[in-house]
A and B are shown apart, each in its own frame.
Chain A
Amino acid sequence: MRDAVVAGVLALTLVALAVGTEAHAEPAVIYSTGGKFDKSFNEGAWNGAKAWSEETDESFAEFQIDSAAQSEQALRNFARDGKDPIVAIGFNHAAALAKVAPEFPDAHFAIVDMVVSGGNIRSIVYREHEGGFLVGMLGAMASETGKLGFVGGMDIPLIRKFACGYIQGARAADPTVEVLVNYTGDTPAAWSDPVRGAEIARTQIEQGADVIMQAAGGTGIGVLQAAADAGVLGIGTDSNQNGLHPGRILTTMLKNVDVAVYETFKDGVAGFKAGVVSLGIAEGGIGWALDEHNRDLITPEMEQAARQAADLIADGEIKVHDSTVDGPCPVQ
C-alpha cells in the first residue's frame, strides 16, 4: 500500500514536472559555419541569446554546424526535442529550414539573413546596404586622398551588398571618390585569415587609400590592425569594433544580429509572429557607432550629414540600391 502511495506521488510529481517544462519550452539557436566566436556575425547572435538568458535566468540550447547536411539534422533534432522557438543564423540554413519546418507545424522557427516562406517561420533580413551607405559617406568625408578601401571576405552576394551600399554612400558625399574593392578568398578560410586581410589592406594603403572598411569576419581584425599600424582609418562591421584601436577606427557599421535573436527568444512561443521582418535604419537593426573611441574623428559636419542621411533613408527619401534584389551594383 505504502509503495503504491509513493509511486502515485512520484508519478504526480513527474507529470507536474513535465507540464512545467512544456509551459517554458527551451529556445534554441543554430550558428552558421563561421562558429560561435567569430567576433562579429555569429557572436552577435550568441550575445543576444546570452542577454535573454541572463535577463530571464532561463537556459537555451545551441549548436554549430560543420556542413550543409548538419543544418537539417540540427533543426530536426531541436524540433524533435521540443525546443521552441528555434533560430537559425545565416543564409546557409535556408534550404534545410524549408524542408524541416513543414514537418513540425507546431514548432516555431526563425532564420536570419534569408527569406523562407512558411506559416511557422519568421524570416529576419537586414538592409546592410543602408548601413554601408552611411559609413561610406563618413569615409569619403574623412578621406584626404580621395581614395577609400573595402576588404570583403568571400565574394558572395551578401558582401557585395555591403560593398555596393558603401560605394553609393561614398559617391553621395564626394562624386569623385575612388573605391578600391578586394576580397580575401574563395573558401570559408577567407573569414578567418587576419594575415591575408592585413596584406590586402596594406596594398590598398600603398595605392593611396586612407579609409578602409572591412566586411570579412575574423579576417577584418587584420584589416583594422594594418590600417591602425599605417596611421590610416579603418571601419568595422556587425558588432561595435570602435574600441579595438581607439582613435584609429572611424566608425563601425552596426548590424544588430543580437536584437533579432533576443527579440525572437523574448516573444517566445506565445508572441511568435511568422512572416518577413526586414530590419534597417528605420527599425534600429542597422546603424553606425559613435562612442568615446571615435568621438574625435567624427566632425560635427560629418555627424550631421550622417544623421541627415539616416533620416532620409529611414523616410524612404534616399533609396539605396540593394544589389541582391535590384540587380548588379550601378556604381563601381
Chain B
Amino acid sequence: MNAQLPRWVDLGLIPLLNLIVAFLVAGGVVMLIGENPVEAVEHILYGAFGFGEGIAFTLFYATNFIFTGLCVAVAFHASLFNIGGEGQAYIGGLGVALVCLAFDTFLPWWIIAPLAICAGAAFGAGWAFVPAYLQAKRGSHIVITTIMFNFLAASLMVYLLVNVLKVDGTMAPESRTFEEAGRLPKIGWFMELFGQNIGGAPLNLSFFLAILACVGVWLLIWRTKLGYEIRTFGANPAAAVYAGINPVRITVITMMISGGLAGMMALNPVMGDQNRLFLELAGGAGFVGIAVALMGRAHPVGVALAALLFGVLYQGGAELSFEMPAITRDMIVVIQGLVVLFAGALEFMFRPVVARVFARTATAKGAA
C-alpha cells in the first residue's frame, strides 16, 4: 500500500492532514472552555513568528528538539527505541558544564565550545552505552533499560548538584555561573540578516550545530557504509547477521551515536542560555524528541520541521497563556498532546483512505 502513494503525499499531505485534524480537535477543546479558538491560533502564531524575539525563542526551543529528535531517529533506523534521550541529555549537560567550569577562567570561548561539544556528546554516549551493551549482549530490552537510566541520571545529577557542585551558602541546587568564556555567543547578527531583533531570546550558536547535526545524520544514514549497516540491521536483523553484520557492534555504535546527539542538546540550555548546571535541564525535550522523530519519519529534514513545529507550540503556547489566562499551562499540554497523538501515534489513520483515493484516480486515468 505504501508503494502506491507518491512521495509528496506520504511526506507532505498525510502529516499535514494529521496536523489539521489535531488543531481542529484542539480548537474544539478551546471552545469548550469558552474561548475563541481562532484568536488562540492567532496568539500562538504571533507569539512564535510575529516579532524577532518570538522567532528567536521558537528556534531556541526547536534547537533542543532537533537534537533529541535526531537522537531517537538514528536509533529508529536500527529498530532500537531509545526512550533515554532525557537522561542522556541530562548527563550530557554534566559534561558540558564540567568543561565550562574547568576552563572558563583561562581559555577563550571558541576553544571551550568544541571541548564542551565533545564532552557533552561523550557523556551522553557513555550513558547510552550501558543499556546498549545490555541489549546487545544480554537481551535486556532497551526500552526498559533506557527508561530506568533516565531515573538514574536524575538521581546522579541531584546528588552532584546538591552535594558537590552547589555554591556554598545558597539555596538553589545549581553550579556557579560560568565566566564570560564559558558562554556561547548569541546569534543576534543572524536574526539581523532577516531584519529581526533577537531581543532577550537565548538563541545561540547551538542552533547552527543542530543544523550541522541534521546534515551529519543524513550523511551517516544514507551515505556511509555504517549507515547502510544500521538500516539493514533495522530492517531485518537476521538477514543482517547473515550478511556478515555484527549485531553487537551495530547496536552499541548506533545507541552511542544516538546518546551523543542527545548529549549535545545540553549545550543549548547549559552553555547557550543559563550558563550554569541546573536541575531538569533537559526539561522533557528527551521525550518530545520521540514525537518529533515519529512525526519527522526519522528523516533529518522531517525531524527539523517537526522540531520547528514543537518550537512553535512551546513558544506560541507560552505567549498564548500570557494573552488568554483562561488557557492555562495544562491546556497547552493538551494541545501539544493532541498534536503528538494525531501526528505521531495515529499517523496511519488517514493513510488507507488517502491510498484508496489515489488508487481510484490512478485506475481512472489508466482506464481513460
Contacts and interface: CB of A to CB of B under 8 A. Distances in A.
Contacts of B162: 155-157, 160
Contact of A113 (B171, B319, B328): B171
Contacts of A114: 170-172
B328 A69 contact: no
A332 interface: no
A70 B325 CA distance: 16
B269 interface: yes
Interface in A151-199: 154-158, 160-161, 185-188
A61 B284 CA distance: 26
A28 B325 CA distance: 12
B283 A186 contact: no
Nearest to A90: B172
B64 to A, nearest CB: 9
A103 interface: yes
A7 interface: no
Contacts of A76: 200
B265 interface: no
A77 interface: yes
- Which residue, A63, A154, A187, has most C-beta atoms of chain B within 10 A? A187
A187 B278 CA distance: 12
A156 B276 CA distance: 17
A99 B88 CA distance: 29
Contacts of B279: 92, 154, 156
A169 B186 CA distance: 50
A16 interface: no
B274 interface: yes
Contacts of A36: 328
B322 interface: yes
Contact of B283 (A67, A91, A155, A324): A67
Interface residues of A, number: 40
B157 A186 contact: yes
Interface string A42-74: 000000000000000000011110111110111
A187 B287 CA distance: 14
Contacts of A94: 172
B202 interface: yes
Contacts of A185: 151, 154
Given A95-B177, A186-B157, A72 B200 contact: yes
B149 interface: no
Nearest to A61: B325
Contact of A154 (B151, B158, B171, B321): B158
B29 to A, nearest CB: 18
Contacts of A186: 151, 154-155, 157-159
A92 B278 CA distance: 9
A239 B269 CA distance: 34
A35 interface: yes
A269 B318 CA distance: 26
Contacts of A107: none
B328 A64 contact: yes
Nearest to A160: B162
B249 interface: no
Contact of B171 (A63, A77, A100, A158): A158
B60 A69 contact: yes
B158 A188 contact: no
Interface in B133-181: 151, 154-155, 157-159, 162, 166, 168-174, 177
B329 A35 contact: yes
A113 B283 CA distance: 22
Contacts of B278: 68, 92, 95
A69 B53 CA distance: 13
Q: What 3 pairs across the A-B complex have the smallest Cβ distances?
A: A67-B283, A186-B158, A186-B155
Interface of A: 33, 35-36, 61-64, 66-70, 72-74, 76-77, 91-92, 94-95, 100, 103, 113-114, 125, 154-158, 160-161, 185-188, 324-325, 327
8 contacts: A62-B325, A66-B314, A66-B329, A95-B276, A113-B171, A154-B279, A161-B171, A324-B170
Given A103-B200, A154-B158, A156-B158, 4 more contacts: A66-B329, A68-B269, A68-B278, A187-B151
